[in-house]
Structure 1
Amino acid sequence: MARRNEHISLAEALKSFVENSKLEKGLDKHNVEDAWVNLMGPGVNNYTSNVQLKGSVLYVTLSSSVLREELSYGKEKIINMINEELGKDIVDKIVLR
């Protein structure tokens, strides 16, 4: 009877568990919200009332029409920053409401 000693790191084990149990989408939703808060800072977050990921589209509800217009010019940059923060391409499009 042959025994194999396999040692994997805790990070690898958790990653495998998340992928096999299909929890990745739920974690991505939460991680995108956290990335928005971290990247945009308190100035933008004071006017942000809701951040929601549906599929690959990020919906952001803002209470300031001026801020919404200003952010609309930098959508591609915001998408790149969020995806870079998360280490994978999750967001393809941003809808500012």
Structure 2
Amino acid sequence: MAKRLNNQSTIGAILNEIIQVNKLQPGMDQIDVREAWKNLMGNGVNHYTKNVVLKGSTLYVELSSAVLREELTHGKSKIVAMINEELRRDVVKDVVLR
């Protein structure tokens, strides 16, 4: 870090500064989206979820059930809205179910 922070900064502000300076936001988004999927979808969907990956602004979800994949396909826009609402910012623009 090139910039020296004053002694009265909060821990949250310091952590945000470290994330910005070291360009760690994409990795943090990956973790946040994975946790949001887990929290929002519940045990039923999580049981059939193999992998959740965020590439750019597209969320790729690998599912082991074709029936569940077809059912979730109908609600892609709702899934995007729910995840972005959970994260309190627009991270996901599209969902690809595999």
Q: Secondary structure at the match of 1:46?
A: helix
TM-superposition CA deviations, 1:42-93 (whole Å, max 9, x none): 0000000010011110000111111011101111111011111111111000
Pairwise CA RMSD: 1.1
TM-score by length of 1: 0.91
Please list every run of 5 or more consecutive structure 1 residues that lacks an aligned counterpart in the other structure.
none
Whichever residue aligns with residue 20 of structure 2, its letter is E
Q: Which residue of 2 aligns with 1:33?
A: 34
Runs of 4+ with deviation above 6 angstroms: none
Compute the displacement of 1:6 (Å).
Answer: 5.4
Q: Larger C-alpha radius of gyration, 1 or 2?
A: 1
TM-score (norm 2): 0.90
Q: Which runs of 5+ in 2 are unaligned?
A: 1-5
Q: What fraction of aligned residue pairs are identical, expressed as a percent?
A: 55
Equivalent residue number for residue 90 of structure 2: 89
How many residues align structurally? 93
